[in-house]
Amino acid sequence: ARPGDEEAVVLLRRAADDVLSVTPGLAADLMVRALELVRPSDAARFDVGEQAVVCLTRAGRNREALATCDRLLAEQPPLAVFGRLQAALGGALWNLDLAEELCRRAEAALAVGGTPSAVSARLSALRALALSRSRDLDAARSAGEDALAAAVATGDRSAHVQALSALGEIALNAGDGAAASERFTALSAVDRAFRPEEAVAHQHMDRFDRAGELLERAAGDGDSHRQAMLLWAQAQQHLGLGRLDDAEAHLVTMERLEDDLRAPVQQVNSRVIRAGIALLRGDRAGAGRHLTEARERMAVKPNPGNRAAVCFLESVVAAHDGDVRDAVEALHRLGLIGPFMRWRLLRTRVGTAVGIALRAGDRGLADDLAGQAAAHAARNPGVPTAAGVAALAAGLAAGDLALLDRSVSLLAAGPRPLVLASARTGLGRALLAAGRAAEAPAALSAAQEAFAASGAFAAAADVRLLLDGAGAGGTRGAGAGAGAGAGRPSPVRARPVQGWEALTASERKVARLIAAGHTNRSAADALVVSPHTVNTHLTAVFRKLSVTSRVQLTRVVLARGDAEREAPAGRLR
């Protein structure tokens, strides 16, 4: 085909539409070629260019989308087309972390005039989304409400979806869980591809049962970009429920998928979480590697949320290493970016931050953090985690045993076992410091059990040391009987790194299914997860069992008598 071949352009556009949801990279290639065939004087040039920008964005080729759009804008299109191109570019600018640029372009396009009402509604929604990153979330919310009203008035579905998404993001960033849940529930009703976002909003409200239902229904929905968001939401579900192995597996899978798509949305947050998991397991070297990766990925996407998350991880790692001065300095750097409770990833960790501040003798910071947690709880009445974390922060800051005991009671009514275990540890430690050693073992034993059950072996071992100091037994040993060893803490044994015992429960399920003849796809269907997740588990299985083929894996499984007939596969929760 040569420039000016209108028939070829039509065929390329149609083919791009057909494959966009399945292979966006191919769709982008097709549209780049179509744009090459359209002469500057052709009437369809800007329509083809707009479609090319959309496809390039979906393929993760955001800088190429930006360059393409700017070339088209340099040709001085009609005012109506100017607005359409800026609206089409919005997703790429957001993906590139150019929120201020997105806001500027949207406002410019709206100010120029001559834009159709539906396109103006899209631009208004994109502006609201950009403002979700700002400090003034009240202004952002007002802009979002105006954008939603415009979308409803015009009946433009794209604007409606974008406005609801913006309002959901604004609510989450403001710490208003009920509003976020309402917005994302409405959004997923309009477009079921946004079920993962709705699930995350419910998680913030401690509605993990509802979130689990949504994630199960979403498992077969969406394209690769949606799969990445689904994996993130599934990881948050597992993390909240204390399933560290499954949380990490989903995060690893998500990182690989985002790398493949060249769409690094949650890379920094994922590494921060994985570093925390490594520390809970006693893997300081692993935490250091994740910190390095988080810093490198933050350099690519230095948005405020990523910078805050890395500051917090730097603080936690420094505190772990005994460098309290560096730890508290990192918290102060975080505070310059924005209030601690502004960052949704960190909200359940405010007790950790208070503890670091107290170790450094920075009572002012500790009190400020406790005040932020209290305000967050007030915005989320009836949410056990929000109330419990606020009581924990206040109890630690004030050294108030009654508040610490209340935090345990509140969190026990919620769904997050590791947050509860941390509160019980704080209560037990405070009881020991107050000379009430006889009262500490109940809280500490429960904390040790929860940490050990989640695979947080280092955290469990730390609690066991506190029990040793209390002269009491771990688990249920105290008063269990006389004789040697009575009242001693039960041993905390870390999982081996090689062999069958090194496999997580989910990895064993995958190994049994593959040994029984399943493909990655059929195993994924049986376990209600994505093939990407099965591949992550299978890679770990091969490494831990030192096998290089499915045949070798089958031999190992059959030799143990662990074929599927003995242990029917259930869902990966």
Q: What per-residue confidence (pLDDT) applies to 469? A: 83
Instruction: Tell me how crowded residue 406 is: count the other CB atoms within 10 A of its CB.
Output: 20
Q: Given the structure tokens 């430690």, which residue do they identify?
A: 429
Instruction: Tell me how crowded residue 482 is: count the other CB atoms within 10 A of its CB.
Output: 7
For residue 527, what pLDDT band results from cuts at 50, 70 and 90?
confident
Q: Given the structure tokens 């690519």, which residue do they identify?
A: 300
Q: Quick: pLDDT tens for 299-319.
A: 999 999 999 999 999 999 999
Q: What per-residue confidence (pLDDT) applies to 475? A: 43
Find the angle CA(82)-CA(87)-CA(90) to the nearest 5 degrees: 130
Q: Given the structure tokens 């970009």, which residue do they identify?
A: 225
- Residues 175 and 347 sit within 8 Å (Cβ to Cβ): yes
HSE of 339, CA atoms in CB hemisphere, 13 A: 19
Q: Quick: pLDDT tens for 184-212.
A: 999 999 999 999 999 999 999 999 999 99
- Residues 506 and 544 sit within 8 Å (Cβ to Cβ): no
Amino acid at 400: D
For CATH 1.25.40.10, list the domain ranges present in the chain: 6-188
What DSSP character marks residue 234? Answer: H
For residue 93, what pLDDT band results from cuts at 50, 70 and 90?
very high
- Residues 137 and 173 sit within 8 Å (Cβ to Cβ): yes
pLDDT exceeds 50 at position 246? yes
Q: What per-residue confidence (pLDDT) applies to 524? A: 87
Start-to-end C-alpha separation, the chain? 52
Tokens matching residue 254: 């998500």
Percent of the chain with pLDDT over 90: 79
- Residues 545 and 556 sit within 8 Å (Cβ to Cβ): yes
Q: Cα–Cα distance between 287 and 316 in angstroms, integer? A: 10
Mean of pLDDT values over 492-515: 86
Helix (H, G, I), strand (E, B) or coil at 61: coil
pLDDT exceeds 80 at position 222? no
Q: Cα–Cα distance between 459 and 281 in angstroms, integer? A: 7
Mean of pLDDT values over 37-57: 96
Tokens matching residue 484: 């040697």
DSSP string, 273-342: HHHHHHHHHT-HHHHHHHHHHHHHHHHHS--HHHHHHHHHHHHHHHHHTT-HHHHHHHHHHHHHHS-GGG
Q: Which fold has domain 500-560?
A: Arc Repressor Mutant, subunit A (1.10.10)
Name the nearest CA neighbour of 392 among 436, 441, 360, 358.
358
Mean of pLDDT values over 492-520: 87
Mean of pLDDT values over 175-179: 98
Helix (H, G, I), strand (E, B) or coil at 243: coil
Q: Which fold has domain 6-188?
A: 1.25.40
HSE of 414, CA atoms in CB hemisphere, 13 A: 29
Name the nearest CA neighbour of 222 among 90, 60, 58.
58
Task: State the SS3 of 120-147.
Answer: HHHHHHHHHHHHCCCCCHHHHHHHHHHH
pLDDT exceeds 60 at position 562? no
Q: What per-residue confidence (pLDDT) applies to 547? A: 86
pLDDT exceeds 70 at position 478? no
Name the nearest CA neighbour of 396 among 376, 375, 371.
371
Mean of pLDDT values over 490-499: 73
DSSP string, 333-389: HHHHHS-GGGSGGGGGGHHHHHHHHHHTT-HHHHHHHHHHHHHHHHHSTT-HHHHHH
pLDDT exceeds 70 at position 51? yes
What does the mean pLDDT of the chain come to?
92
What DSSP character marks residue 496? Answer: P
pLDDT exceeds 70 at position 67? yes
For residue 493, what pLDDT band results from cuts at 50, 70 and 90?
low
Tokens matching residue 257: 């998928």
Q: What per-residue confidence (pLDDT) applies to 572? A: 57
pLDDT exceeds 60 at position 565? no
Q: What per-residue confidence (pLDDT) applies to 492? A: 61
Q: Quick: pLDDT tens for 414-455.
A: 999 999 999 999 999 999 999 999 999 999 999 999 999 999
Q: Cα–Cα distance between 34 and 51 in angstroms, integer? A: 10
Give the C-alpha distances (Å, rounded to integers) separating 564 from 246, 407, 513, 524. Answer: 20, 43, 6, 15
